[in-house]
Amino acid sequence: MTLPRFATQTVQIQHPQTAEDSHGVPINAWGDMEQITGCSIQPGTTDVDLDGRDAVLVRYNVFLPPGTRVFAGDRLFIGGQPYRVFGEPDRWETGINDHVRVDVEEWSG
């Protein structure tokens, strides 16, 4: 089984990779984007940093189709905006509404 029919949103996922700069020094890079359809993006919490900065932490709960290859530290794009997958994905494989749930977050400001 898959997510209910209200799961009509699309996201893109990128996995981190290691590459080398022109001097052979390892650097962080990102792989190709993988488009995932049949998702549901739900609002999470929003926090404001009052420690002398004008910054906001935005979080979403994202429900992905079963079997989606996603891991902590991946980037997930929602409406073109990148968010970091925070923590390990939760994978429900019970035969009823199977899915993968991830928390994503991004600081702005």
CA-based max dimension of the chain: 51
Token pair belonging to 36: 């995932």
Exposed e or buried b for every residue in 80-101, given b needs 16+ CB within 10 A? Answer: eeebebeeebeeeeeeeeebbe
What is the reported pLDDT for 39?
94
pTM recorded for the entire structure: 0.83
Q: Can you give the residue ranges of every domain in the chain?
A: 9-108
**How far apart (Å, rounded) are the C-alpha atoms in residues 106 and 86?**
10
pLDDT digits (tens, 9 = 90+) for 22-55: 898 888 889 899 999 999 999 887 777 666 667 7
CATH of domain 9-108: 2.40.10.370
Type of residue numbered 104: V
**How far apart (Å, rounded) are the C-alpha atoms in residues 54 and 75?**
24
